[in-house]
Every structure is written in C-alpha cells, then in structure tokens.
Amino acid sequence: MKNREQRDLFPGALEMMILRTLKRQPRHGYALALHIKRTSNDLLQIEEGSLYPALQRLLKEELVKAEWGISSTSRRVRIYKLTAKGAKHLEHEVSRFEKMLDGITRVLAPGES
Amino acid sequence: MMWLKRLFSRRRLYGELSEEIREHLEEKIEELVAGGMSRKEAAYAARREFGNVTLVEEDGREVWQWPSIESLIADVRYGLRMLRKSRGFTATAVLTLALGIGANTAIFSYINAWMIKPLPYPQADRLMVVVSHDTKKGWTRNSVTSTADFIDFQKQNTSFEQTTGWAGWNFNLTGDGPPTLVEGGRVGWNYFETLGAKPMLGRTFIPDEDRAGAEHVAVLSQGLWQSRFASDPRIVGGNITIGGESYTVVGVMPGTFQFPLMGIANLWTPLALTDKERTDRGRSWFSAFGRLKPGVTLEQAGAESAAIFARLESQFPQTNTNLTLLVSSMTDEIGKEEGTTQVMISFAIVGLILLIACANVANLMLARATGRTKEFAVRGALGATRSRLARQLLTESLLLFFVGGVAGMFFGFWGIRWIESQIPDHIRGYLVNYGHVDLDVTTLAFTLGITMLCGLVFGLAPAFENSKLDVNRTLKEASGQASGSKRGARLRRIFVAAEIALAVVVLISTTLLVKSFLISVRSSPGYNPANVMVAQLALPKTKYAQEWQLRRFSEDVLARIQALPQVVSFGAASSVPYGGFGQAVEVEAVGKPAPQPGERFGARFTAVSTNYFSAMQIGLVKGRLFNSADEQANSPSVIINQTFARQFWPDEDPIGQKLQFGERRTVRTIVGVVRDIKMYYLRERPERQMYVPLAQFPSGTLGFVVRTTANSAAMPTAIRDAIWAVDRDQPVSSVEPLEMLMVIQDAGNRVLTKLMVFFGALAMFLGVIGIYGVMAHLVSQRTHEIGIRTALGASPGRVMGMVIGQGMKLASIGVAVGVLCALGVTRPLATVLYQVAPNDPLTFIAVPIVFAGVAAVACCIPARRAMRVDPLVALRYE
C-alpha cells in the first residue's frame, strides 16, 4: 500500500496543481484528474482518489468553491471554481515553488563545486 | 458559531463527497466501456486507478473534523464495545488495576495531607521550629537549649518576625464539675499570634500577662468551653480554678485550631517564666518556633542562629560548648513526629504493587490480542494503517486503565477510611487535622495522573506489538488462531518474570517489617504488663507545697489501694512506663575523672515506692531491691539499671559504688542493679536509669500501678475512687491497663504491619495470577501441539512436566532477580527494623521458597488441563 507522501509528491504539490488547473477554467473532479494526468504526460503517478481529500482541504480553506452542475456528458457533477483567495494563494505558492526549484537546480547543476 | 453550523452541515458534506466519488467512478467506467472494455473489467480498472475508496472518503471527511478528537471518540466507542465483549478479561484487568491504584490513592492521600498540603495556618511556609543540637555528640532535641539561651536568641535574631515558646502541660481543672485533668499547654504570649490563629471569643494573651507574678489568665478550646461551660459566652472575663488557683478566662479558640506538635490541647496559660528561669542557662523545659520575616529563607535564619550561638558559646563555655539551635521547617517537624516513616514505606511498597498490577494487565492485553489477530488483519486489509491500529489499541488500554482508576478511587477511599479507623484517639492530636484525611483535588489528580501514565506506558508495548501486520499470512491461516509473533510471546515472558521479581521484592520487604513487628511485640519490656492497671495524676504545687504533704498523699492512696479486692500487688512511682511523665538528672560517678565541659551524662530519674519493683515484676540482676530501711531519711541508697551499670562500671562491680546526681550534687550508694525496662516505646534503645525511694523523694507527678487477679471492669473506678477518697479535688488521668497503653504507643507500627500483611498478600496474589495467566494462555495456544505430542506417545506426566517446567523456569528467573534486587532495596529499611537485619537470611531463604511453591501450584492448574488434552478432540478441532 502506498502511503500518503508518495501519492502527494511533496506536501502541497497536488493542491498547487489543482489550483493551477482550476485557474484556467472551472472543472469537476474527474475532468481535473484527467487534465492533470494528461498534461503531465502521465509522469506523475497520482491515484485519482487522492484528489478528493485535497479538494476537501481546499474547500475548507475557501481557496475553491464548488457547485453542483451538469457536465458535458450530461452528468450531475460538482464543479470547482477558484476563489479570489485561491488565486492569491496560488500566486504565492507558485513563486515560492519557483524560488525553491531555482535553488535546487543551482545546487544540482554539474560542473561547479 | 461557525463550528456549530459546520457540525450540522457536515452530514451533507459527507453525503456530497460520497456521491461525487461514485459519479467519478461511473464516469470513468463509462469512458472505459466506450473504449471497448467489458463493464466488469472497467469497474475493476476504475477502482484500481482510483485507489482505496473507503480511505479516500475517510481522509476527505477528516478534513472537516477536529483533528483526532473525533476519531478518538470513535476509538473510545469501539474500545468500550470490545471491553464489554470480553467480560472476563475486563473484570480481571479492572480489578487488578483497581487494587493497585486504590492502594496508591489511599497512601498518597496521607502523603498529601501530612507532607504536601500546607499546614492550616496563614503563610505556613514561614513557620519554623527551632531545635537544640549538640554539634559534637550529634543529638538533636525538640526543646530549646536553655531558657536564657532562648531569650538571648529572641532578642538578637533579625530573621524572625516573632518567636515564641511552648510546653505541653496538664492542668487540674476543678469546680464546675468533677476534677478533671485537662491537656493543654503553657505558651508564650504571642503563641497564637505567631501561628496566625484568631480566637472565636475574647482575645489571646498580651505581653504583660506573660510574666511571673502577673494575674493568672487562661484561654479555652471550643471543645472544653462547650463540654464544661455549656457554651456560655459569659465565660470570657469569668474565673475558672486550675490547680486550686483562680484564672481569668480571656478567650476561646475555635475547634479548628490545632497545633500537632503539642497534641490535644484544650487549655492554655502563659509561660510566665520566673526571673530564676529566665537566667537559667543549664536546662530548658519548653520548645519554640517562630515566623520568618517575609523573604527570609530557612538557610539565612539558620546561619544567623549559628552565629548567635557561636557568640553564646564563647561567652558561656561551661554551659554552651557545642550547643546551637537549628532552624527547621514546621511542616517537616510535624511530619517527623508521627506516621511519616510508615507512610513513606507504604508508598514505596504500593508503588511496586502498582507496577506488578500494570505488568499483569499489559500481559493480559498481549494475550488477548493474539486472539484478535484476525480482526486486525481484516481491518488492515480494509485500509487501516499500522499507526491507526496502534492508536486504537492504545485507546483501549487507556480506557481500561481509566475504568480501573475510577474503581481504584473507590478502593482508595475505602482504604483511607480504614487507615483512619486504625489511628487510636490518643494520638490523633499529634496528627494534622486530627488524622482526618479526605480525597481532595491533589489526590484525585495524582490518581488520574498515575492511571493515565501507566495506561500509556503499559499500553504502548501491546499496541506496538499487536499492530504489526502480516495481512496475507494471517488471513491465509485456516484457524485464525495465529500464535502471535515470537516477540510478543517473549515480551509476555519478560513481563511475567519482572512481575514475579517485583512481587518477591515486595514480599521480602513486607516480611522483614512484619517480622520486626512481631519481635518487638514479643520482646520483654523488662516487666510483666499483664493485668496491670495504671492511674496517673499530677498534684498541684499550691496545695501540695510541702514534701510531707506529697508523701502523705501517696502513702494514703497506696493504703486504700491495698484494701481493694482482687489486688495482687501494687506500687507507685514518679513516672511509670508509657505514662508520659518523666524526669532526667545529670549523673557523675564518684571517684572517676570529672567530665569535660559540655560533656554531661544524664540518666532517667524515677522515685519508686519499695513495692514498685515487685508489683511491676522488674527483675533484679544484682544486689538487692529497696526495703523499708531505705525509706529512712538518712539512708543513701540508689538502684540503677543494667545499661547504667554497664556504661559506668564495665569492668567493676557497681554494687557499693557511689553516684553523684542532680543540682544538689547528692551522693548515694548503689545497692542494686535491675533489668532495663521500656519506658516510652516498644523499640527504644535502653537508656541509663536510676531509682530512688519515693519516701525520700516525694513526687508531684505520680503513677500508681495495680496488678489484679484478672482485668475487671470495676477496677478503674475503684482505683479512681480510692484516690478521690484521699483528695476529692484531685483529677486522675483515665485509669487504663498498661497493655493498652503499650498498644496505643505502638499504633503506627501496628497499622503499618497490617498494611504490610495485606500488601504482601496482594503482591503474591498478583504475581501468581500473572504466571497462571501466561501458562493458561500458553496451554490453550498449544492445545494442537500437545494433542500431536500425546498422539505420538507422550505420556500425560511428561506433558504436565513440560508445562510446569516452562512455568517454573520463568518463576525461578523472576525469583532470582527479585532476591538480588531485594538485597539492595531493603537496605534503607534498616532504620525502622527492630532486631532484624535488612538482609535477614531466614527471610531471604523462606520467601523465595514459599513463592516458588505457590507459583508451582499455579502452574499445575494449566498443566493438568494440558495433560487431559484429548488428541482426537485437539486434532479434530481445526
């Protein structure tokens, strides 16, 4: 059995990806999962299920909101939207992530020692 | 109110989550079906990619919950269900814990009441007692070094806000009813003020009243005021008669006021030191305490006192060499007085018992969990993580301990009351709050604390051990009776061995204490106390100012006692064993080098009637007893005890030697040596004692001893009437059998011994239960194996031997470790043991043998069951 850390990549990564995806357009859970999988070229092995606890966390923190609606395949689904607070949070997280990535890249860069 | 709204909307949230997940799976399946997969395959694939639905839902829900509290509630509910399901297990565990925790609660409540709780005075931490100390000889006494020293100390010290003296005193109260001996004290004028105690009526003393020759004044206790003066408020300002003199009552102290160092007190008068006493640097007859100024520490006060006494020493080398006053906290001094040692020993013992009980319960939990392996495997397969299972198990153990703790509280309360009932009324006055102890917040917090701590510590091992999962193996095993991990079994054996070791330590310690008690009770006090009645009194100096009056009184009373029926023998002395009176004098052997300054020898001084030795049956060792010739004024005879003789004339015949004693430096010739007797305690070390004829040294304090043919109920009244026939106004202490006085004096050790018998039995019981439980469990686990062995031809005797052998191996390891530990642990008991060494060989041999024997019996029961295993049944059982 995989534990949560493996599913989540690093803490907050999944949330960040969800927020980024929702920034482009509101989606429901299944579409979100598909999109993340597809855009990452299946590089990220995410259990689809792990999306839902993450979404619940975002809902609780009011970074996203959800409404019941009808999907393109005419199903009753819950569509998630980014809130203003969520957009701000995403911006903050992305810049933090980029800084971190930048740092890691520098350290990992070959040649210098 | 957000949380309230959330609480109500939560059910909806959960519903939505479930629906959403369902829809998600449906959509996936449809897509896969559209891609050409069969519906069944698609359903599997969708689930595989989704992950554990239950876990996802649980994780999703957890987001909305107060972290862990709610899953804790769920765990508690589940735990309660499990405890209800296995009643036998729960009952055993709860009873075991309740006994262990109850014993701790009871003993701790006494520690709390006597050592932790502040004394019932305002800012009690500033109250300090001063005790005299000889830096060379090392002795410490509760009284001050001398009256003059104390007055100098009072004047010179700057550490204390107030200091005051006190002495326990018996008052002869006459008028307004029968003459009564009232216990109380002579106290410094500021005694009540220093303690911070306020009268309920009137006032306490003023400085002018604390002077020799001042008008006589007295303060009453509420109890005396009620019983003798019918709570008449007009008593304040009124007169009472003490020792034939009139005293004005100035105040009444409330019933809550108590000073344990003095004991029961119902009447107080000022110390009123005479001018002669105020300048006396040789002796003291009173004790003292004081209240430190705010911010002054005990150490500062002690250092200042040492400095003052260093000055006094250089000023008065003849009297003050090596003498000083030590400052000590009043709480400690009161604790030292009564019961503390007994309580601390009991506390150590019950601590060990709690450990035994906990190890027992941990073992039960381990054993029970092996039966639940399948349950855990199933829960693991359904997505429970190891930590989740461990948490569940820990919750169950905490729950179990909590229930045990609550039950223990009841046992504890009962224990407190039992101990209290064992305290004789005569010594209650010396105990804080008269020995009354209640379950208070501190005790409850302590009980809850140890309960939860033990639950956590002893729940961890089973939780850790049993949450180890091997889902596949367990589920595949046909019987579901997996024997648990090897380590689990080893852990159980370690627990049992440890438990037995602890039980052996407890049993050895308690046996030593009980043995020492039995020896002390059986040891001869030096006289025969059976059928001896004791009556005591103190004649007032005002009425009996002349020696001939004192002499006449005792002679008259003795003549009347002689006339009583059933009297076998009788006598009188200035102080009798266990009587409370006592006098000591300085002694010097004539013809030996004079003692160094500061090196003074004392001896107990007792004036006795000529028939006293024969009445008490005190044995003569050498020489002769007193006869009527010794009562003549010019006969200079004295009798000493064995210790006196041995210490002063180790290599010479004491008979005929001359002795100089007392202030008048009287010289007397030793005519006899008698056996040492116990004067105050059963366990006292013999001290030098000298006897002189009562006729030559008439005494104001008197003890009459009357040996009767049998203990008759009418005797006490008859003796008292004989005294009242001589002086109608003379109060007499209650007339009591000497044997009873001895029992009262030894009450602390008596209670301790009873407790030790109980604790020893409890430790043994728990240890044996522990080994029985493990062996019984082992046998039930091995039924199958034993069946095969029997089928293959193992004889029943062999099977039984195998089980007993295994049990006894555990027991002997435990016993051996226990004996080794006990060798170290019992060493501190040396101070309380009487004529028993802490490593008493007999105890250290007998206890392990008895314990091993009982353990063998405990192993026999499961072994017999193993022996009777029917191979057919055992093998078919699968």
* pLDDT over 80 (residue B473): no
Q: Which residue in chain A is spatially nearest to B471 when comparing CA positions?
A: A1
- What mean pLDDT do residues B7-33 have? 80
Count how many residues are written for chain A.
113
Cβ within 8 Å of B, A 84-113 = none
Work out the percent of chain B whose per-residue pLDDT is above 90: 45
In a domain, B513, yes or no: yes
* pLDDT over 50 (residue B127): yes
B158 and B241 share a domain? yes
Task: Please give the backbone phi and psi of residue B592, each rounded to the nearest 5 degrees, phi first.
Answer: -110, 160
Here the tokens at position B439 are 């379950």
* pLDDT over 80 (residue B528): yes
In a domain, B35, yes or no: yes
Boundary (domain end) residue, out of B46, B65, B84: B65
Cβ within 8 Å of B, A 5-24 = 7
* pLDDT over 60 (residue B482): no
* pLDDT over 70 (residue B518): yes
For B32-52, letters b (16+ CB in 10 Å) and e give bbeeebeeeebbeebbebbbb
Average pLDDT, chain B: 87
Cross-chain Cβ contact B17/A49 below 8 Å: no
pLDDT digits (tens, 9 = 90+) for B565-604: 889 999 999 999 998 788 888 888 888 777 776 667 889 9
The predicted structure's pLDDT at residue B58: 80
* pLDDT over 50 (residue B836): yes
B369 and B440 share a domain? yes
Q: Look at B477 and B581; give whichever has higher pLDDT.
A: B581
Q: Which amino acid makes up residue B656?
A: G
* Residue B363 · residue B773 · CB < 8 Å: yes
Here the tokens at position B652 are 């010479």
Cα–Cα distance list, B230 to B226, B236, B267 (Å): 5, 13, 16
B224 and B299 share a domain? yes
Here the tokens at position B68 are 């862990």
* pLDDT over 90 (residue B71): no
In a domain, A55, yes or no: yes
Give the residue numbers spanning the domain of A17.
4-106
The predicted structure's pLDDT at residue B162: 94
B566 and B502 share a domain? no
How many A×B Cβ pairs under 8 Å? 65
Handedness of CA A19, A20, A25, A27 (dihedral sign): negative
Longest dimension (CA), chain B: 137
Please tell me the least confidently modeled range out of B254-268, B692-706, B855-869: B855-869
Most confident listed range (B169-178, B194-203, B255-264, B705-714) = B194-203
pLDDT digits (tens, 9 = 90+) for A9-42: 677 788 888 888 888 888 888 888 888 888 877 6
In a domain, A15, yes or no: yes
In a domain, A112, yes or no: no
B708 and B781 share a domain? no
Cross-chain Cβ contact A49/B53 below 8 Å: yes
B164 and B302 share a domain? yes
Most confident listed range (B20-34, B54-68, B149-163) = B149-163
The predicted structure's pLDDT at residue B519: 92
Boundary (domain end) residue, out of B36, B65, B94: B65
Alpha carbon of residue B527 to chain centroid: 30
In a domain, A38, yes or no: yes
B694 and B599 share a domain? yes
Pinpoint the alpha helices (H) of B423-485: 425-428, 441-466, 471-476
- Reported as a pLDDT band with limits 50, 70 and 90, residue B488 is low
pTM (two decimals): 0.75
* pLDDT over 60 (residue B481): no
B448 and B302 share a domain? no
Here the tokens at position B452 are 């939860």
Boundary (domain end) residue, out of B15, B35, B65: B65
pLDDT digits (tens, 9 = 90+) for B446-471: 999 999 999 998 888 778 777 776 66
A37 in reach of chain B (CB within 8 A): no
Q: How many angstroms away from the CA of B461 is the closest CA of chain A? A: 24
B385 and B260 share a domain? no
Q: Look at B253 and A3; give whichever has higher pLDDT.
A: B253
Cross-chain Cβ contact B24/A33 below 8 Å: yes
Q: Which residues of B touch A27 (CB under 8 A)?
A: none
* DSSP for residue B712: -
Q: How many angstroms away from the CA of A49 is the closest CA of chain B? A: 5
B221 and B296 share a domain? yes
Q: Which amino acid makes up residue B510?
A: T
Q: What is the interface pTM, i.e. ipTM, of the complex?
A: 0.80
Test the B interface: residue of A3, A28, A52, A77 with most B CBs within 10 Å: A52
In a domain, B382, yes or no: yes
pLDDT digits (tens, 9 = 90+) for B823-835: 998 988 888 888 8
Q: Is A62 left (phi over 0), alpha (psi -120 to 50) or beta?
A: left
In a domain, B620, yes or no: yes
* DSSP for residue B684: P
In a domain, B81, yes or no: no
Here the tokens at position B169 are 């005193």
How many other C-beta atoms lie within 10 A of the C-beta of residue B728?
Answer: 10
The predicted structure's pLDDT at residue B477: 57
- What mean pLDDT do residues B318-325 have? 87
State how many domains chain B has: 4
* pLDDT over 80 (residue B10): no
In a domain, B588, yes or no: yes
pLDDT digits (tens, 9 = 90+) for B84-115: 888 888 888 999 999 999 999 999 998 888 88
B565 and B514 share a domain? no
State how many domains chain A has: 1
Give the residue numbers spanning the domain of B391.
340-522+747-876
In a domain, A111, yes or no: no
In a domain, B389, yes or no: yes
* Residue B666 · residue B585 · CB < 8 Å: no
A29 in reach of chain B (CB within 8 A): yes
Q: How many angstroms away from the CA of A51 is the closest CA of chain B? A: 9
pLDDT digits (tens, 9 = 90+) for B619-631: 999 999 999 888 8
Q: How many angstroms away from the CA of B4 is the closest CA of chain A? A: 15
- Reported as a pLDDT band with limits 50, 70 and 90, residue A2 is very low
In a domain, B706, yes or no: yes
The partner residue sitting opposite A57, judged by closest CB among B51, B57, B63, is: B63
Cross-chain Cβ contact B60/A56 below 8 Å: yes
The predicted structure's pLDDT at residue A4: 43
- What mean pLDDT do residues B489-499 have? 86
Q: Looking at the DSSP assignment, which residues form a beta bridge with residue B246?
A: B241
B312 and B220 share a domain? yes
CATH of the domain at A54: 1.10.10.10
B857 in reach of chain A (CB within 8 A): no
The predicted structure's pLDDT at residue B415: 93
Q: How many angstroms away from the CA of A108 is the closest CA of chain B? A: 33
Q: What's the burial of B460, exposed, middle or buried (CB within 10 Å: 0-12/13-18/19+)? A: middle
A3 in reach of chain B (CB within 8 A): yes
Cα–Cα distance list, B609 to B327, B576, B696, B718, B741 (Å): 42, 12, 10, 21, 22
Cross-chain Cβ contact B55/A73 below 8 Å: no
Work out the percent of chain B whose per-residue pLDDT is above 70: 94
